[in-house]
């Protein structure tokens, strides 16, 4: 499950691989992840390769666990610990760009959370409750949790404090 280190990996990827090899990461280990820069985002391409093409030009590819947002650092640590990269298709979902774009979505995305409205602290607080090292200890549990979050985002069925009502 742990990725093989090769010379073409960035220093960030090597640091994440080192972190992922820890048997039981400490809070200090998770805090060190804050020093990591953002990973290159290949998520949309990887989702297409996995058979999930962009459903509309009015969609954005959303990384459920952000590679760059400072409030996602603990959840990023769980992904790294279990050997999953930020650009893994399990970590992605397609969301309408904004409120007006929901009308142009395929039926399964018409109630989805708009991508431009989701990157805020309440979203990351919720994500830290759903995906944390106390609850998620295997790759299968992580994939299940990411699928649950994806379903909730794409159906618009997120907790009320996670989705601000701005822009409607």
Q: How far apart are CA 74 and CA 31, in angstroms?
A: 8
Provide mean pLDDT across the span 118-133. 92
Please indicate, yes or no, if residue 30 is contained in any of the structural domains. Answer: no
Inside any domain, residue 26:
no
Domain count, the chain: 1
Rounded Cα gap, residues 58 and 145, in angstroms: 26
Mean per-residue pLDDT, 50-58: 94
pLDDT confidence of residue 20? 75
Residue 32 is assigned to a structural domain of this protein: no
Say whether pLDDT at 40 is over 50.
Answer: no
Element of type H or E holding 8: none
Q: Which residue has the higher pLDDT, 166 or 151?
A: 151
The pLDDT value given to residue 31: 65
Residue 133: inside a domain, yes or no? yes
Task: Provide CB contacts within 8 A for 43, sequence distance 6+.
Answer: 61, 63, 86, 87, 88, 89, 91, 92
Whether residue 99 lies inside any domain: the answer is yes
Q: Is the pLDDT of residue 25 over 50?
A: yes
87 with 16: CB under 8 angstroms? no
The answer to whether residue 160 is domain-embedded is no
Report the sign of the C-alpha dihedral through residues 148, 154, 158, 163, in that order.
Answer: positive
Note the pLDDT of residue 32: 65
Question: Whole-angstrom Cα distance, residue 76 to residue 34?
Answer: 10
Has residue 9 got a pLDDT over 80? no
Q: What is the pLDDT of residue 119?
A: 83
Find the domain containing 71 and state its range: 40-155
Q: Work out the end-to-end distance of the chain between its first and last CA atoms, rounded to an integer number of angstroms.
A: 43
- Confidence (pLDDT) at 2: 47
Q: Is the pLDDT of residue 39 over 80?
A: no
Residue 20 lies in a domain: no
């Amino acid at each position: 499950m742990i990725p093989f280190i090769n010379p073409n990996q960035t220093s960030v990827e090597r640091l994440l691989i080192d972190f992922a090899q820890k048997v039981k990461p400490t809070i200090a280990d998770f805090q060190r992840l804050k020093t990591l820069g953002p990973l290159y985002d290949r998520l949309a391409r990887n989702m297409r390769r996995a058979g999930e093409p962009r459903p509309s030009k009015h969609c954005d590819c959303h990384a459920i666990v952000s590679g760059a947002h400072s409030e996602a650092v603990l959840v990023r640590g769980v992904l790294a610990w279990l050997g999953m990269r930020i650009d893994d298709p399990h970590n992605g979902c397609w969301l309408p760009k904004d409120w007006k774009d929901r009308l142009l979505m395929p039926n399964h995305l018409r109630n989805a959370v708009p991508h431009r409205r989701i990157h805020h602290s309440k979203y990351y607080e919720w994500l830290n409750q759903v995906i944390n090292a106390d609850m998620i200890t295997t790759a299968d549990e992580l994939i299940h949790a990411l699928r649950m979050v994806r379903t909730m985002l794409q159906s618009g069925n997120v907790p009320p404090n996670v989705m601000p009502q701005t822009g409607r």
